[in-house]
Structures are given as structure tokens and as C-alpha cells.
């Protein structure tokens, strides 16, 4: 139940902030917003504001802002068409329309930074210990396959003592592809066992890795430091995410996507680990949401930006019919992708 509540709250906040970005810039640009909706599907309830319907829909997996379109104005029988037309989305300059679209993803980046700052200010910054203690083991990597687990202590490698983390990583990094003998004190039994592991060569980093991370302690920092770290963390995570997407597209990295079920699982793990992890996770998801929406794919914000850029270059708008087909195709592809990643999530759970 905690996972379900956390999923709805976190995803709800991400969607609300995203759509609020579109909403507030549209209002400031003089565009009439007909509906501000949280969720998709049939409407559960809502209330009519001065000119905007605020609604909540049945599935909390999205949301939208519906702007007044020139087509709707033309079809209306109102006398003040010119006044309405001036408030339609299409009547505004391409720069104002682009600003409205960009505002959604931008708000997700801002939210991610704010959540990082809050996590650092209240819970501190995770600082790696220089102990020879394993803090985390990545699934599917050589260490996990060989039987290493979080809490294990690496005493020696190939007969050479490893009293700290630096000595552990130095040997692993410099011996990719070579079978190595690890003397390990197991966390559960406190017995020392010998485990053979072959570090895998990481092309991007240019060194050997076995899929382990050090243990961490939380270090308190000032508010100013929290702001600095929050900004830097947002920039760095965005850079890594964009780089990973490029590697996926070019085939340098495996295609690993998660749908709502996968996200819910990750949030569930965050709930177990406490509020610090939950805030950090929410920040990461918000940045993911921002990057995803800025991709130049139909039915996403990036797709609309791509169409506007094309219209700006040719100095002529696309016909309503062509835009409709682009949106319909993009929506169909998006639904197909969601079904595919959800199926992948289910398979991942079943085959565990």
C-alpha cells in the first residue's frame, strides 16, 4: 500500500509540475487554456474556473493542458471571433509557442534540482567510505555472479592485502579480463572465503569493473552547499542520461526501458530505504521525465518543438490534417511503447 501511495504522489507531482509549466507560460503569453487536467482517460471530477476547466481523470499516468485552437474559434458561432482568435495557440509567435512547450520539461528539471537540494539539506550528502567494505552489488555483473554481496569485506586480491577501497579498485581497474582471486570476509558468517572473479572491461571508462560500489555515510552540509550540490547533481545526471540515450541509439549500450510497473518497483525500493532515498529517487525520475518529453518524438513536447522548427524554417505552417496525423501516429507509437515496456517489466518480475 505504501508503494502505491508513493507512486501516485510522486508521479502526480511530476505530472502536475510539468503541466503547470505549460499552463503558467500559456497564461502569461495570452493563450486561453480551456482545460488543465491531471491524469488521462474519463473525467472523475472537476470544476469550472473563470475560463479554464480543472479536472482529474481516472488514470494518474499523465495529464494535459488544452489550449484554445484557431480551428475551434472558426467553428464557434460567437460574435467576438477576432478577440478569441487573438487568444488561440496558433495566433502567437513561434517563440511564444515554443516557450509554452519548453516550460513543461524545464519545470521537471527545476523540480529535480529542488528535490536534490531538499534531500542534501535535510539528510546530508552521501560520502564514500574508504573502507574495503562493499556497499552495493550490481545485478548481472561479475561480482554478483560470483556471489559477492553488500556487507562483504575484500581482505586481499591475488594475495595482496587490500586494507582500503582505493587498493581494491586499483587492482580491479588495472586487470580487465584476468581471472583474480579475492579473499572475502562474508557479511553473514564472518568467515573468509576465496572467490575467483574476472573483471569486465568497460570501453567507456577504459578500465576493469566487477560491479561493486563502496559503502557510504551521510555527511551534513550547509544550505548553500546543498544548493550547489543540487545544481551540480542535476547537471551531471542529465548529462549521463543524455549520453546513455545516445549510446542506446547507436548500439553502444543495451536498450533498457521501464514502464509504470518498473517505476513502481523502484519507488517501492525507495520507500523501504527511507525518505532520503525517496527524495533522491523523485529527483531522478523528474529529470528522466523532463529528458523524455524533450525528445523529438511525435505526441511528446519535443515532437511539437520539431514541427514548429520545421514550420519556422519553411515559413509556412503545416495543415491541420498533417498535424493531426503526426499526433495520431505519435500517440499510437507511444501506446505501443508503453505496452512493450510494461510487458518487459512483467517478464523481469516473473523471471527473477
Q: Known catalytic residues? A: 19
Residues 6+ apart with CB under 8 A from 147: 195
Q: Which residues pair with 57 in a beta bridge?
A: 43
The answer to whether 101 and 308 are in contact (CB under 8 A) is yes
Per-residue pLDDT of the chain (352 residues; tens, 9 = 90+): 676 777 778 888 888 999 999 999 999 999 999 999 988 888 889 899 888 999 998 877 778 899 988 777 776 666 567 778 888 888 898 899 999 999 999 999 999 999 999 999 988 888 878 889 998 898 888 999 999 998 999 999 999 999 999 999 999 999 999 999 999 999 888 899 999 999 999 887 789 999 999 988 888 888 899 999 999 999 998 988 888 778 777 766 665 655 555 555 556 565 566 677 788 888 988 998 898 888 887 778 888 888 888 888 888 777 767 776 776 776 666 666 666 655 565 555 555 5
The closest alpha carbon to 102, from 282, 329, 304, 313, belongs to: 304
If DSSP codes are grouped into helix, strand and coil, which group holds residue 77? Answer: coil
Question: Which cell numbers in the block locate residue 278?
Answer: 525517496
Give the per-residue pLDDT at 311: 81
Query: By CB neighbour count within 10 A (0-12 exposed, 13-18 middle, 19+ buried), where does 212 fall?
Result: buried
The alpha carbons of the chain give a radius of gyration, in whole angstroms, of 25
Instruction: Give Dmax (Cα) for the chain.
Output: 89
**Separation of alpha carbons 193 and 206, rounded Å:** 29
Query: Listing from the earlier edge strand, what are the strands of the sheet with 153-157?
Result: 160-161, 153-157, 180-185, 192-197
Q: Please, what's the b/e burial string for 80-91 (b: 16 or more CB within 10 A of its CB; e: otherwise)?
A: eeeebbebbbeb
- pLDDT, residue 303, reads 85
Angle CA 257–291–317, to nearest 5: 115
Task: Give the C-alpha separation, 245 to 256, whole Å.
Answer: 10
Nearest CA among 225, 219, 207 for reference residue 128 = 219
User: Which residue, among 98, 76, 108, has the nearest Cα to 31 in the 3D structure?
Assistant: 98
For Cα atoms 340, 342, 344, give the angle at the middle one, nearest 5 degrees.
Answer: 70
What is the predicted pLDDT for the residue at 340? 60
Where exactly does CATH 2.30.42.10 map onto the chain? 128-217
> Could you give the angle at the alpha carbon of 269 between the alpha carbons of 7 and 126, nearest 5°?
110
Chain position carrying cell 474559434: 73
3-state secondary structure of 325: helix
Q: What is the pLDDT of residue 281?
A: 85
- CATH for 128-217, among 1.10.357.10, 3.40.50.11540, 2.160.20.10, 2.30.42.10? 2.30.42.10
Amino acid at each position: 500500500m505504501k508503494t502505491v501511495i508513493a507512486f501516485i504522489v510522486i508521479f502526480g507531482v511530476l505530472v502536475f509540475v510539468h503541466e503547470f509549466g505549460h499552463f503558467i507560460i500559456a497564461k502569461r503569453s495570452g493563450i486561453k487554456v480551456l482545460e488543465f487536467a491531471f491524469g488521462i482517460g474519463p473525467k472523475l471530477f472537476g470544476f469550472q474556473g473563470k475560463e479554464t476547466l480543472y479536472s482529474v481523470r481516472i488514470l494518474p499516468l499523465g495529464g494535459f493542458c488544452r489550449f484554445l485552437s484557431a480551428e475551434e474559434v472558426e467553428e464557434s458561432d460567437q460574435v467576438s471571433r477576432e478577440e478569441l482568435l487573438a487568444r488561440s495557440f496558433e495566433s502567437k509567435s513561434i517563440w511564444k509557442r515554443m516557450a509554452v512547450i519548453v516550460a513543461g520539461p524545464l519545470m521537471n528539471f527545476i523540480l529535480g534540482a529542488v528535490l536534490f537540494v531538499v534531500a542534501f539539506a535535510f539528510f546530508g550528502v552521501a560520502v564514500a567510505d574508504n573502507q574495503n567494505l562493499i556497499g552495493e552489488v550490481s545485478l548481472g555483473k561479475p561480482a554478483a555472479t560470483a556471489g559477492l554481496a553488500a556487507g562483504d569485506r575484500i581482505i586481499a586480491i591475488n594475495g595482496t592485502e587490500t586494507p582500503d577501497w582505493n587498493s581494491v579498485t586499483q587492482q580491479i581497474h588495472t586487470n580487465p579480463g584476468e581471472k583474480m582471486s579475492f579473499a572475502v570476509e562474508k557479511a553473514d558468517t564472518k568467515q573468509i572465503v576465496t572467490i575467483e572473479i574476472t573483471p569486465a572491461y568497460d570501453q567507456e571508462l577504459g578500465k576493469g569493473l566487477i560491479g561493486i560500489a563502496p559503502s557510504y555515510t551521510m555527511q551534513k552540509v550547509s544550505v548553500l552547499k546543498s544548493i550547489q550540490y543540487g545544481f551540480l547533481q542535476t547537471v551531471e545526471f542529465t548529462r549521463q542520461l543524455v549520453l546513455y540515450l545516445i549510446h542506446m541509439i547507436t548500439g553502444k549500450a543495451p536498450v533498457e526501458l521501464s514502464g509504470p510497473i518498473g517505476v513502481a518497483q523502484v519507488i517501492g525500493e525507495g520507500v523501504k530505504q527511507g525518505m532520503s532515498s525517496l527524495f533522491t529517487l523523485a529527483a531522478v525520475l523528474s529529470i528522466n521525465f523532463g529528458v523524455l518529453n524533450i525528445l523529438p518524438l511525435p505526441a511528446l513536447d519535443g515532437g511539437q518543438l520539431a514541427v514548429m522548427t520545421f514550420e519556422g524554417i519553411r515559413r509556412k505552417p503545416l495543415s491541420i490534417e498533417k498535424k493531426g496525423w503526426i499526433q495520431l501516429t505519435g500517440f499510437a507509437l507511444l501506446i505501443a511503447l508503453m505496452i512493450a515496456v510494461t510487458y518487459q517489466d512483467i517478464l523481469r518480475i516473473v523471471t527473477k
